[in-house]
Chains A and B, each alone.
Chain A
């Protein structure tokens, strides 16, 4: 497992987390994972391997099974333990940005309001219920929209945006939350390649510039390897691999996705030592630090 570079407590600590759906469907099987502050981690694995389920547990949207040792701690705050959500789960969530595959914006609200929602955790209830946002909160939202490159869409209904724009609005919402951790659940699975690239660039930029920890589940292995320094692979709810992206090989991926996969592993068919030149299009300062 990678050492977290800052040497402090991990940003995310998951210990002995299991989740059973229904009577016997094991979605997560004794998962333990530490993620250091400022890391950008890819979660990979076949459909149904538990990627989404794991991310949803970290934000407390789902509760784990009731075993006594199970716990999730984010930024030194307990999210859940032993299958029970922490009583101050909402303040934990306020510090965790969540980006969904289907964007999960409110289509009939304009983009700015969708992004302003990121302020709710810091607002008095009477103002949030009356949808009264002050100038500072609005400035924060407009700045975030500008940063993800869609400030011109602020007053359009969210439903009128393209998928890529909606996903960037969702990232802007996480920015307004001033989240120290962003969880992205298949953020590019519903996007065309160019939009997917822009969304991943945006996440990567926030990770590098703001030191925000990013955990992103991805279907496309090439995106995982290009943008993330660390890769965690799940199969049948178990962590099957956890290590630097550079150590991922085609043989390993076959073990994760199964032999009959139709994925094209491209340059990975070459041994890691020989492919350095082929894949350094995204150098990034952190990759150098981790080498």
Chain B
């Protein structure tokens, strides 16, 4: 019901103006953001001019890539398949570790004195790039694809366990209570009440990470951890850019194919 005192003509058309203090604070925020951008510009030595002044170099360089030299394609293909194997095992090992870790990292499953330390551990796993882990594992298990798989395993465990535990925290607690009310223990509550609810998300996250791992697996080889990355490293260092172009094209095909196939699989599971 309309109150007689308030007519449409009296209703405000715009939100009230912010107070001077709020405007000043906003302005200060924009200023800080701008200052940060300028500072990083210098730090990163960004100089678009170079792209133009050295345009000649760029053109020569680009021309070296063509035509791509596919003469060693059998070798590239073998290494690409090794790359795929690295990605598969890096992901599979990570999934096995991420499942228990994600459960103990979920606030609705584990008390804070368990889930907080586990989350910090996962942060550590995630904060170090695969390449760094790859260099370390090369030292441990020697040059070769196994070092790559181990590197992907650690990093992917960190990401997947975090994503998995977020899914666990978003479940509907009522079905779990239904299971609990039948006298089930904590493990049975998880098997019957939690896992069925998170399964579609877990599958989806796993496939996303697998796609990402195919890309990552193609570079861990550059530090000696096997796969097509080794090839890339060799041809780039040898300035064989037409061969580099061929290897890069084959990587693009592999990554695109994985994306397409895994999105098909994902639809199947949801």
- Residue numbers of A with Cβ under 8 A of B are 59, 61, 90-98, 100, 102-109, 113, 117-118, 120-121, 125, 128-129, 131, 170, 173, 177
Contacts and interface: CB of A to CB of B under 8 A. Distances in A.
B183 A104 contact: no
B179 A117 contact: yes
A106 B192 contact: yes
Contacts of B185: 90, 125
Contacts of A90: 183-185
25 contacts: A61-B177, A61-B181, A90-B183, A90-B185, A91-B183, A92-B183, A93-B182, A95-B183, A98-B178, A98-B181, A104-B174, A104-B177, A104-B178, A104-B181, A105-B178, A107-B197, A108-B196, A109-B192, A109-B196, A117-B179, A125-B187, A125-B188, A129-B187, A177-B182, A177-B183
Contacts of A131: 191-192
Interface in B155-195: 174-175, 177-185, 187-188, 191-193
B182 A128 contact: no
Interface residues of B, number: 20
B203 interface: no
Interface of B: 174-175, 177-185, 187-188, 191-193, 196-197, 199-200
Nearest to B196: A108
7 smallest A-B Cβ distances: which pairs? A94-B183, A104-B178, A98-B181, A93-B183, A121-B183, A106-B175, A108-B196
Contacts of B177: 61, 100, 104
**DSSP class of B's interface residues: helix, strand, loop or mixed?**
helix
A96 B180 CA distance: 11
Given A61-B177, A177-B182, 12 more contacts: A61-B181, A92-B183, A100-B177, A104-B174, A104-B181, A106-B192, A106-B193, A109-B196, A120-B188, A120-B192, A125-B187, A129-B187
Contacts of B197: 106-108
A177 B187 CA distance: 18
A234 B178 CA distance: 25
A120 B179 CA distance: 9
A129 B188 CA distance: 6
Contacts of A106: 175, 178-179, 192-193, 196-197
B192 to A, nearest CB: 6
B184 A120 contact: yes
A102 B187 contact: no
